[in-house]
Amino acid sequence: MPDVGDLVTAKLTVDPFDGTTVATLLVLRPDGTTVAPVVTGADGGATWTAPVVYTLAGIWRLSWTVTGTGASVEHELVSVAPTPGAVTGGRTYATTTQLANYLGAAPPLDSARLLLEASKLLDDILLAALYDVDSDGLPTDEEVAAAFVDCVCSQVQFWGEVGEETDISGPLQGVVIGSVQLQYGAGDNRSGPSYVAPKLPRALTVLPSCKFRFVASASC
């Protein structure tokens, strides 16, 4: 599977072929734009190649059109991976360095994505919370920021122990943070695993009310 930034040579073999055979390539990018690379023929019209630079992660479609002898249309779908370690889509409350220090060991290779998912989970829990933030939505108070680091790192550690689970509908029963009560799951789900790290809510309970507080009761 190619990564973003890779330059590959797309290749088409035509049979039958002769001097009238001509091939062209149209590349559809994941964002809906198209590009027509320069196509080079060889072997009397049997082989056709074109350079393709994968500039975006996602699904690319390579469409070859052959005219003359061997006339045909062929499509190929190519899945392109993001640049290794690159993560977008929201703010993250801890770095991979902080995670490594928290774990006391080398972090997993997909740590950036896991920290992002853990940060999103923390955001869900903090819907009713008030604390000072900067223009990026990150806490400005050092004590609050440190607690957030512990929260997301403990969640990544938890996923490493029990397996990653992005669905938080499972049961986290009876946890109270100030005036906020968190209770996940119902019915048959009550015997299932808790998807929220036990240490995550605890990291918030030690914060003083002058720096961090909940303004209303919330039930999840």
Number of domains, the chain: 2
Domain boundary among 50, 80, 110: 80
In a domain, 86, yes or no: no
In a domain, 146, yes or no: yes
pLDDT tens digits for 53-66?
Answer: 999 999 999 999 99
Domain boundary among 21, 47, 80: 80
pLDDT the model gives residue 18: 96
Task: Name the band, by pLDDT with cuts 50, 70 and 90, for residue 11.
Answer: very high
Residues 104 and 21 in one domain: no
pLDDT tens digits for 17-28?
Answer: 999 999 999 999
Pairing of strands 7-13, 175-177: unpaired
Residues 129 and 60 in one domain: no
Is it the case that residue 122 has pLDDT exceeding 60?
A: yes
Residues 74 and 100 in one domain: no
Domain with 209, as residue range(s), is 96-214
Distance set, CA 56 to CA 76, 80, 86, 141 (Å): 17, 7, 12, 37
pLDDT the model gives residue 104: 93
Residues 55 and 139 in one domain: no
Distance set, CA 186 to CA 25, 27, 171, 183 (Å): 54, 49, 7, 9
In a domain, 52, yes or no: yes
pLDDT tens digits for 134-178?
Answer: 998 999 999 999 999 999 999 999 888 877 654 444 444 444 555
In a domain, 219, yes or no: no
Is it the case that residue 84 has pLDDT exceeding 80?
A: no
Q: Of the given ranges (49-63, 70-84, 91-105, 199-213), which has the lowest mean pLDDT?
A: 199-213
In a domain, 88, yes or no: no
